[in-house]
Structure 1
Amino acid sequence: MRGRIVRALARPLVMAAVGVAIPLLNAAPATADSVVVGGFPVDVSQSPWTVALASRDLFGGTRAGQFCGGVAVAPTAVLTAAHCLGRDVVGAPPTPDLKVITGRTDLLSDQGKEIAVRSVWVNPGYDSSTNGGDFAVLTLAEPLPSGAVVPMAGAGDPAYTPGTSATVYGWGDTDGNGAYAHSLRGARVHVLPDARCERAYPGGGDGTYAAETMLCAGETTGGRDACQGDSGGPLVAQGRLIGLVSWGNGCGRADSPGVYTRVSEVVRTLSRADGAKALRPGADAT
């Protein structure tokens, strides 16, 4: 299957609408231990800021209702992809049973907590036709421990330098063919030059890469990447959040690197937007 694909899950038993991800075909083969294509097992204590977005009402209980990832950037604030909160995915307004699962490695365990979402702020600059500005802020009904958050990398941070080693985390598809994980995994990738993604995604059906709002990461030979179900999850380098899983063409393809929302653009946008109030400790999220 060709064309730009976002990396959230479509609802079971419902035909995927335009812009909602469906399991991919013809992705590059993954290793036997892969989840988050080409990945390795991760205990959530190693990345306590990695969370799962869940709705049992919409996605059932097989994987605790998980359909996207997210990342805690403040005690009551979680970043995720805007496309995860689209009408086609969670309804409008979002389903009332929307929760954030934190502190849980295995989605089928009773580890950690499931915290209700008090409010949702979707970037008003998000463009669903290009996936530009693909981020949203969820405000939690109760705070996370201070040690369960990760700092965001602003503009000019060396973590964005091409060649930097980074790790993407999630519970998504293991091989691009709908084999979804129930335990957290990570995959090591490298930040790639913007020119690489501009060549891979120059426009048309495969998508258009825009360096000012997007970040390119993967491996030259492919094989390690985020995939369906990982949308909104964190890409971390040098201890700082640099990207949110957004879109790509297939999973783990050598000529189609993963595209992430550039977190420096998130920082810039939130610094002058209503969504920033969710990042202030003690802020009223209602």
Structure 2
Amino acid sequence: MRRSLSALFAPLAAPLVTALAMLVILPPPATADRTVVGGHPAHTALAPWAVALASRERFGDARSGQFCGGVVVGPTTVLTAAHCMSRGVLGVNWWEVGDLRVIIGRDDLRGSGGVEMAPRWVWVNPAYDQGGRAGDVAVLTLSQPLPRIYGVAMAAVGDPAYQPGARAAVYGWGDTRGNGSYASTLRATRLRVMPDATCEEAYPGGAEGEYISESMMCAGLPDGGRDACQGDSGGPLIARGKLVGLVSWGSGCAEPGRPGVYTRISAVLSQVTAAG
């Protein structure tokens, strides 16, 4: 018999409030393996809003067909990067992908834990500039609502979470070394929100891309070593317990002087709210 969503999620609901509170104060384990380019193992019990986008039809059975990340921000609303829904990534239009799924509550993509849900609709930001990469956001509307505790709050304009130096963390199942070594289990890595001036200096335009502070933010460490990478696109950047960014682009992975660039959530908040 197929279990209801409430039955599937009930075992996790009780400890989530305490677990989420612990998330902002607990450091990664000292013996954690170094993954997500300088990261550590993470768990959906502590980060229930971190989800995977998948299509076995397009990407095979390995790792549940994962190709991008996403983040739950409402009962039926999941955000990801606009470029994740592009023909360049999928090979076809998103509506031609017959088995597009959002995977929720599955730490290990080789397993069958959690649930897989088909989106009822996908909205891709029509203002997304593939050349300049501005406005890199898409909204997937789920066919059934999730318990509200699975959503994370989005940081509005002026929120202290955007302040340079703020501690942040990015989550995903992407490349762990920058060489195509994709993770099967959820990973996270600790970063710092970086000043716009630093981001503009790193990406002044040209072949490596142009950083636009109005719609982007960047995070990393001055000496590199920690970063999101291929396969993490669309995944969440969390600071002060709120969603501040979506993995968008960058030059290489975890390289000194080349921080990761994220879609600034405050810049697309009104569009996301309307689409969701």
1:254 aligns with 2:253: no
- Alpha-carbon distance in 2 for matches of 1:215, 1:57: 33
Cα contact 2:57–2:98 (8 A) shared by 1: no
Alignment of 1:78-227 (within 5 A): 78-90=78-90, 91-92=92-93, 93-227=95-229
- Alpha-carbon distance in 1 for matches of 2:169, 2:248: 15
Partner residue in 1 for 2:233:
231
- Alpha-carbon distance in 2 for matches of 1:109, 1:72: 21
- Between 1 and 2, higher relative CO (CA 8 Å, sep ≥ 6) is seen in 1
Cα contact 2:139–2:275 (8 A) shared by 1: no
Paired letter, 2:225: G
Question: Once the two structures are superposed, what CA deviation does each residue of 1:243-284 show, in whole Å capped at 9, x if it has no partner?
Answer: 00000000000110000000001213335xxxx242xxxxxx
Hey, which of these two has a bigger chunk of helix by percent? 2
Name the SS of the counterpart of 1:107 in structure 2. coil
In structure 1, stretches of 5+ residues that fail to align are 1-30, 279-286
Paired letter, 2:176: T
TM-score by length of 2: 0.86
Give the fraction of aligned pairs with identical amino acids, expressed as a percent.
Answer: 59
- Alpha-carbon distance in 2 for matches of 1:55, 1:66: 6
Partner residue in 1 for 2:41:
41
Question: Once the two structures are superposed, what CA deviation does each residue of 1:17-48 show, in whole Å capped at 9, x if it has no partner?
Answer: xxxxxxxxxxxxxx982222100001111100
Q: Which 10-residue stretch deviates more, 68-77 or 92-101?
A: 92-101
State the superposition RMSD in angstroms: 1.3
Paired letter, 1:68: C
1:66 aligns with 2:66: yes
TM-score by length of 1: 0.83
Name the SS of the counterpart of 2:197 in structure 1. helix
- Alpha-carbon distance in 1 for matches of 2:84, 2:43: 24
The CA deviation at 1:168 is 0.1
Name the SS of the counterpart of 1:251 in structure 2. coil
- Alpha-carbon distance in 2 for matches of 1:32, 1:225: 16
Question: Once the two structures are superposed, what CA deviation does each residue of 1:196-235 show, in whole Å capped at 9, x if it has no partner?
Answer: 0100000000100000000110001100000000000000
Paired letter, 2:165: G
Partner residue in 2 for 1:24:
none
